[in-house]
Amino acid sequence: MIRVFGWNEFLIIVVAAQWTIALSAIAFAGGSVGGLLMALMRVSEVRAFRRFATGFIRLFQGTPLLMQLFLVYFGMNIVGFAINPWIAAAVALALHASAFLGEIWRGCIEAVPKGQREAATALGLRYYHSMRHVILPQAIRIAVAPTVGFLVQLIKGTSLASIIGFTELTRQGQIINNATFSPFLVFGTVAAIYFLLCWPLSLVARRMETRFSRATAR
């Protein structure tokens, strides 16, 4: 029995986009915390921190996201957790995002002129206040555009979670396709939804980039 790709099938795919959005949001939130930690460790004066963060980032930048998903998914089973695609996908993507955001934000922190940290230090401000009030507020302005750019990558990256059985947009598309055998229509719809999620973000990122380059032009 072959189902026809109709209005209902279309709506099922659209509704599945919520899981793509939810997974992206969780991965991004986790990645923000992890990324800040990685970035601060990368610029730390403590060599062990720098080494650890560098290793972590190299590892995640040098392996495919799909392998990271597999390793977390099967690894969780080995250390005694029940197999749960939701948690595995969220953890793997958050770690992935931590590495990439860590590297992006390290660059932004280092882009703040050295004199700013020196002025803060000379005024007696110690690490926490100097980071919190002087360095990070300036780094954040530089970081917004590349961060939004990475968010677009992350949203597209969530499609790989379909392979470990997490039912998000892509997997829902596969399921519907198995019933309707209209791959062009189905995956065309899926692609269009990704595009509608990502395109506005790309526009925002580009706008911010021009605004920032104008703001820093001297």
Partner 1 sequence: MNMASEIASAPGLRGASDPAVRMEDVNKWYGSFHALKNVNLTVGRGERIVICGPSGSGKSTMIRCINQLETIHSGTIVVDGHDLTAGGKNVDLIRQETGMVFQQFNLFPHMTVLENCTLAPMKVRGITKVEAEETAMKFLRRVRIPEQAAKYPAQLSGGQQQRVAIARALCMNPKIMLFDEPTSALDPEMVKEVLDTMVDLANEGMTMLCVTHEMGFARSVADRVVFMDRGEILEVATPDTFFDAPQHERTRFFLGQIS
Interacting residues toward partner 1 by CB under 8 A: 113, 115-116, 118-126, 129, 133-134, 137-138, 141
Please, which residue, 15 or 111, has the CB nearer to partner 1?
111
- CA distances, 69 to each of 161, 175, 191 (Å): 7, 20, 22
Please, which residue, 64 or 114, has the CB nearer to partner 1?
114
Do 169 and 194 form a contact (C-beta atoms < 8 A)? yes
Do 51 and 39 form a contact (C-beta atoms < 8 A)? no
CA 71 to chain centre: 18
Give the CA radius of gyration of the chain: 21
Please, which residue, 15 or 123, has the CB nearer to partner 1?
123
Distance CA 190, CA 180 (A): 14
Q: Which amino acid is at 98?
A: S
Burial zone of 137 (CB within 10 Å; 0-12 exposed, 13-18 middle, 19+ buried)? exposed
Q: How far is the CB of 50 from partner 1 (least distance, A)?
A: 18
Q: How far is the CB of 118 from partner 1 (least distance, A)?
A: 6
Q: How far is the CB of 129 from partner 1 (least distance, A)?
A: 4
Minimal CA–CA distance to 96: which of 70, 68, 121?
A: 68
Q: How far is the CB of 127 from partner 1 (least distance, A)?
A: 11
Please, which residue, 51 or 133, has the CB nearer to partner 1?
133
Tokens of 178: 């198995």
- CA distances, 163 to each of 3, 83, 171, 198 (Å): 24, 14, 8, 21
Q: How far is the CB of 47 from partner 1 (least distance, A)?
A: 16
Q: How far is the CB of 77 from partner 1 (least distance, A)?
A: 48
Please, which residue, 125 or 198, has the CB nearer to partner 1?
125
Minimal CA–CA distance to 164: which of 66, 21, 95?
A: 66
Please, which residue, 50 or 141, has the CB nearer to partner 1?
141
